[in-house]
Amino acid sequence: MRDESFTERRTIRIVVNGVEAEREVGVRKLLADFIREDLSLTGTHLGCEHGVCGACTVILDGQSVRSCLMLAVQAEGCALETVEGLASDGKLSPLQEAFREEHALQCGFCTSGFLMTARELLKDEPNPDEQQVREVISGNLCRCTGYANIVSAIMRAAATRGVK
Amino acid sequence: MAAVQIPAGTGKLVGARVRRVEDARVLLGKSQFVDDVRLPGTVSIAFVRSPYAHARILKIDTTAARANPGVLAVLTYEDLPELSRALRLEWDPAMPSAPHKLVEWPVLAHEKVRFVGEAVAAIVAEDRYLAEDAAELVEVDYDPLEAVADMERAIEPGAPLVHQEWGDNILQAAGAEFGPVASAFEAADVVISERFSTGRHAALPLEPRGCLASYEAAADLLTMWSSTQIPHILRTNLAAILGAAENRVRVIAPDVGGGFGLKAHVFPEDIVTALAARITGRPVKWIEDRRENLIASMHAKHQIVTASLALDRDGMILGLRARCLSDIGAYTEFPFSSGLEAGVAAAAMPGPYKIPAYQFEAISIATNKATVGAYRGVGMPIAVFVMERLIDIAARRLAIDPAELRMRNMIRREDHPYTNVVGFQIESGSHREALAKALEMLGYEEFRARQTALRSRGRYIGVGIASYIETTAPSTAGWMMLGMRMGGYETATVRVDRAGKVTVLVGTHSHGQSHRTTFAQIAADELGVSLDDVRIEFGDTAKVPYGWGTGGSRSAVVGGGATMKASAVMREKILRIASRATEIPTDHLELRDGAVARKSGGEAVMSLAEVARLAYLPPGGNFAGEQPGLEVAETYEPPLMTHANSTHIVTVEVDTGTGQVRLDRYIVVEDCGTMINPMVVDGQIQGGVAQGIGSAMLEQIVYDGDGQILTGTLMDYLAPTATDVPRVEIAHLESPSPYTLGGIKGMGEGGAIAPPGAIANAVADALAPLGARVDVNEIPLTPERVAATIAKTRNSK
């Protein structure tokens, strides 16, 4: 039968793309569902719900995480970055622009996960070689592109020093 | 309407590597996939699924589930209206295909379950967490029955029956003979006979299946947002199965996160979700998780093929025999037929080769596994795997170079239009030229020299070739030849609004294929406007003309063709109005830069907005005898089928210690006629090759002998990642179709068709020095399987 703790709710505070937010949330709610449903940031997608496909990748306190493998309450006090935070004033960031230039997306369902993974990579390693890029993004699945153009896009973004 | 002359477009955009208009909103995180659609009051549905491959259902107790918090409804078979209880596929005697058993797939299991993952009950609850809680509380008493999980066992006498009423496990047994097969084999100097088997694959779109159903009782209108490739086909079938008038069902396919054929079906869950919306009066959302996607959606391409190739001593092919056994799982894809899988494999087997005699059997066999449906290329990758392996084995036996043996047998340019052995008319192509170009890109001679040198140092590299013809964009009659009741035409509506901007509405659907860009390129060229001035709409059955969706590499040819045709008719109307207004003859006018202008670079005489003003508010009720407004709908259907062609060449190195295969270079020379946007074509090739590499080396749905599925997560079912897929070296040849508008041929499935054949040939070539017989006839070529092949080859010395 149901464990009563399932129904417990807590208030969490979290900085979302630079803006403070406070929400009451069920303790068992996944961070991914919280982002999509409670914050209405539907650019983060769920592709497997077991941490393999990487579509739900977001950045929490500077590190990429799988938002399907965390509870929302675990993000209490953290700074959360999602795909919606990459552009400024609706203008594509250099990384996003590089994805467009290189035709690095087709259906686009996996794209935000790749963008967030690449963002972390380029912050830590501004000049990655192709093998590094391939290894870092090998934790994200794309079923449309065959990856080559995603690799090119990340290399292009690195070349233009576009970490965001 | 009189025949429309379609002059070649101005050529400004068609053929150019235009950046995609789709991208910005996707990159900003503003796409709207079905799970992103939010309606107030939406509730969730979750399914209780069978843990058994084959069992009788003795009792379903839903008491505890119904009592759980947040539960609105619990549905089982008995709760469903009689008409809506099953997907029912009946054989149509008007079809040219072989007789077919009547298949009834209960949308919730009835009396029996027939595969692990079959939906048994559905829970509707306030949110998905509560729905899944309650799903765990449904108690089902099963009486397990003996299951049949192996297709060859399933056709033995005494095998358990998946459907008792069928009397056996054969959904469909087709066969045909063309030309003098027996005498061809008698006359042969060499006959190669082999057995091949392919893995069972999953299409695996990154966005799983899902839908959102909302029923407005006051208006008697059901709206379903669905992650589907075929919104109109879904609407027609929803209406029929729910007993609703079709004009009271609306399907909206919003952004769709990949389909690859999987989403070109109507599923039991679609029906149950729609019924749940009617029953509860609330919008109901179903989003499957990846486990459901892997065990309970559909699988693909699981065949065992025994085939024989007869040749003379010069390597000329005399005849071919193939027996394709296809494991279709427990039911059939709907509303088409899983018999398609074996039928397409058999029909595609001759490929780009001139084969005088051919006999095939295509047998579709039910087992207690998930149903098999469409996945990129359907049976074509299997056909190419079999044919290209046979050719390589024959080449080795005859001591003829495998590239040379292909060249000798390929259809030549001057043979077109070439009617092949099964009656397909190949209208144009560059089979030998594509092979020659690919060999040149590789540096074939240099590769052979390097191979010899490395072998002497104990390193095993190999090269594999696979050439194919991709049958694309069938007409209605073409689909019928393939055993499908499916339309081969599309309608496009072109509107020029009062400000002179263009909207095109089409019935195909884009879920990665870039139609918003490529169709806009076509319309913009025909109407002389910029890409920004054209918007492409699709996916909403309340807005766009009835269409047959996206699949079978048809959209560029048929949807693009309809766009071209309707745009051309619109152009003529605009020119007539402008001619009347300016008193300049129409044949002195053209559309250019958003205006009507004098031909040959002359000055603009009227903007499109000015033409629109006359068209929408005509002085005196009409103008120039034209109907008011600027809206044109045209339907286009290409001829029987359209054929693209390609050669893939891959080089590999095999680690004979571990069985690991490393891909080195992957070369594709393809010919899809006129390219609308080479960037998009390249993207489709690279992506298709990645899926083909998955099929060839990694991906495999595994069941145990009792029909229990062992690959229910992405840690077990391995899709290729960025470290598995090399950058494909691509070159294009263009043999426009003489029969389609613009000379366009389809190519979307192509990339995925050849990798299993090419990679298997490369591995066999690498291992050739180890023994007399290298048996690389099963995919995927996992390290274990390759290691076993190495051991077997060494023993064959």
Phi and psi (nearest 5°) for A32?
Answer: -60, -45
Question: Which residue from B623, B253, B20 is spatially nearest to A111, judged by alpha carbons?
Answer: B20
Model pLDDT for residues A29-48, shown as the tens digit of each residue:
999 999 999 999 999 999 99
Evaluate if pTM is beyond 0.95.
yes
Give the homologous superfamily in CATH for domain A4-84.
Beta-grasp domain (3.10.20.30)
Are the Cβ atoms of B513 and A106 closer than 8 angstroms?
Answer: yes
Among B206, B713, B721, the residue with its CB nearest the CB of A47 is B206
Residue ranges per structural domain of chain A? 4-84, 94-159
Q: H-type helices in B502-596, by residue range?
A: 515-527, 560-582
Q: Nearest chain A residue to B38 by CA: give it.
A: A37
Strand order from edge to edge, sheet including B604-607: B589-592, B595-598, B604-607
Model pLDDT for residues A90-141, shown as the tens digit of each residue:
899 999 999 999 999 999 999 999 999 999 999 999 999 999 999 999 999 9
Among A100, A112, A143, the residue with its CB nearest the CB of B19 is A100
Residue type, B149: A
Residue type, B219: A
pLDDT under 50 in chain B at which residues?
1-9
Phi and psi (nearest 5°) for B696?
Answer: -75, -30
Measured in residues, chain B has a length of 797
B141, B132 in Cβ contact below 8 A? no
| Residues of chain A contacting B512 with CB distance shorter than 8 Å | 106-108, 144
Q: For residue B304, what is the enclosing H or E element?
A: strand B303-311
Give me the total of CB pairs closer than 8 Å, taking one residue from chain A and one from chain B: 183
| Residues of chain A contacting B513 with CB distance shorter than 8 Å | 106
Residue owning tokens 């939406």: B42
Residue type, B382: I
ipTM exceeds 0.90, yes or no:
yes
Distance between CA atoms of residues B285 and B287, nearest Å = 7
pLDDT, chain B, mean: 96
- Write out residues 3-22 of B within 8 Å (CB-CB) of A: 19-20, 22
Question: Which residue from B793, B724, B728 is spatially nearest to B764, judged by alpha carbons?
Answer: B793
Q: How far does the CA of residue B321 sit from the closest CA of chain A (Å)?
A: 35
Question: Six-digit token pair at B708?
Answer: 């229990």
Q: H-type helices in B220-360, by residue range?
A: 231-242, 268-280, 290-296, 339-348
Going A118 to A124 to A128 to A131, the CA torsion angle's sign is negative
Q: Nearest chain B residue to A104 by CA: give it.
A: B683
Q: Does B36 contact A at CB distance below 8 Å? A: yes
Are the Cβ atoms of B714 and A143 closer than 8 angstroms?
Answer: no
B550, B513 in Cβ contact below 8 A? yes
B175, B362 in Cβ contact below 8 A? yes
Q: How far does the CA of residue B443 sit from the closest CA of chain A (Å)?
A: 23
Spatial CB neighbours of B627, under 8 Å, sequence gap ≥ 6: none
For testing contact with chain A, the best of B19, B22, B26 (most A CBs within 10 A): B26
Q: How far does the CA of residue A84 sit from the closest CA of chain B (Å)?
A: 6
Question: Six-digit token pair at B606?
Answer: 């009227």
Among A26, A133, A141, the residue with its CB nearest the CB of B206 is A141
Q: For residue B105, what is the enclosing H or E element?
A: strand B103-106
| Residues of chain B contacting A28 with CB distance shorter than 8 Å | 129
Distance between CA atoms of residues B211 and B209, nearest Å = 7
Give the pLDDT of residue A2: 54
Going B609 to B611 to B614 to B615, the CA torsion angle's sign is negative
Are the Cβ atoms of B28 and A133 closer than 8 angstroms?
Answer: no
B539, B34 in Cβ contact below 8 A? no
Are the Cβ atoms of B36 and A149 closer than 8 angstroms?
Answer: no
Pick the CATH number of A94-159 from 3.40.50.2300, 1.10.150.120, 2.160.20.10, 1.10.10.10: 1.10.150.120
Q: How far does the CA of residue A125 sit from the closest CA of chain B (Å)?
A: 18
B328, B226 in Cβ contact below 8 A? no
Are the Cβ atoms of A148 and B511 closer than 8 angstroms?
Answer: no
Q: Nearest chain B residue to A146 by CA: give it.
A: B687
SS3 content of chain B, % helix, strand, coil (to 5): 30, 25, 40
CB atoms closer than 10 angstroms to residue B410:
23
Q: SS3 for B770?
A: helix
Are the Cβ atoms of B714 and A46 closer than 8 angstroms?
Answer: no
B793, B654 in Cβ contact below 8 A? no
Are the Cβ atoms of A146 and B22 closer than 8 angstroms?
Answer: no
| Residues of chain B contacting A111 with CB distance shorter than 8 Å | 26-27
Question: Six-digit token pair at B743?
Answer: 């000379």
Rounded to the nearest 10°, the torsion over CA B78, B81, B87, B90 is: 110
Are the Cβ atoms of B260 and A52 closer than 8 angstroms?
Answer: no
Are the Cβ atoms of B687 and A145 closer than 8 angstroms?
Answer: yes
Q: Is B292 left (phi over 0), alpha (psi -120 to 50) or beta?
A: alpha
Q: Does B69 contact A at CB distance below 8 Å? A: yes
Give the pLDDT of residue B5: 42
Question: Which residue from B552, B560, B469, B555 is spatially nearest to B749, judged by alpha carbons?
Answer: B552
Question: Six-digit token pair at B322?
Answer: 């193939």
Q: Nearest chain A residue to B291 by CA: give it.
A: A48
Distance between CA atoms of residues B408 and A144, nearest Å = 35
Question: Six-digit token pair at B718?
Answer: 């391995």
Distance between CA atoms of residues B190 and B374, nearest Å = 36
DSSP 8-state secondary structure symbol assigned to residue B217: T
Contacts 24+ apart (CB under 8 A), B617-623: B623/B577, B623/B580, B623/B581
Give the pLDDT of residue B93: 85
Task: Return the beta strands (E) in B126-160 as ranges.
Answer: 139-144
Question: Which residue from B175, B190, B618, B655 is spatially nearest to B391, judged by alpha carbons?
Answer: B190
Question: Which residue from B529, B496, B516, B526 is spatially nearest to B556, judged by alpha carbons?
Answer: B516
Q: What are the C-alpha distances in Å from A75 to residues A21, A36, A70, B731?
A: 12, 14, 8, 49
